[in-house]
Amino acid sequence: MKRIRLRWVFLLALVFIYLPVLVLMIYSFNDSRFAMNWQGFTLKWYGILFSSPETALALKNTLIVSITATIVSTVLGTLFAIGMHLYPFPGKRFIEPLFLLPIIIPDIIMAIALLAFYVFVQLSLGHLSIIIAHITFQISFIAFVVKSRMQDFPKNILEAAQDLGANQWHVFTKIIFPLVRPGIVAGALIAFTLSVDDFLITYFTAGAGSSTLPIR
Report the CATH number of the 53-205 domain: 1.10.3720.10
- Of 116, 111, 112, the C-alpha closest to 134 is 111
Say whether pLDDT at 158 is over 80: no
Query: What's the confidence (pLDDT) of residue 51?
Result: 79
Sequence ranges of the domains in the chain = 1-51, 53-205
- Of 160, 187, 191, the C-alpha closest to 174 is 160
Please tell me the least confidently modeled range out of 4-13, 65-74, 131-140, 159-168: 159-168
Please tell me the least confidently modeled range out of 1-15, 136-150, 176-190: 1-15
Beta bridge partners of 50: none
Query: What's the confidence (pLDDT) of residue 4?
Result: 64
Name residue 26's amino acid. I
Say whether pLDDT at 71 is over 90: yes
Q: What's the CA dihedral at 136, 139, 144, 149 to 10 degrees?
A: 180
Query: What's the confidence (pLDDT) of residue 119?
Result: 92
State the Rg of the chain over Cα.
22
Query: What's the confidence (pLDDT) of residue 35?
Result: 64
CA 148 vs CA 128, 145, 153, 160, 182: distances in Å: 30, 5, 10, 23, 11
Whether the Cβ atoms of residue 65 and residue 130 lie closer than 8 Å to each other: yes
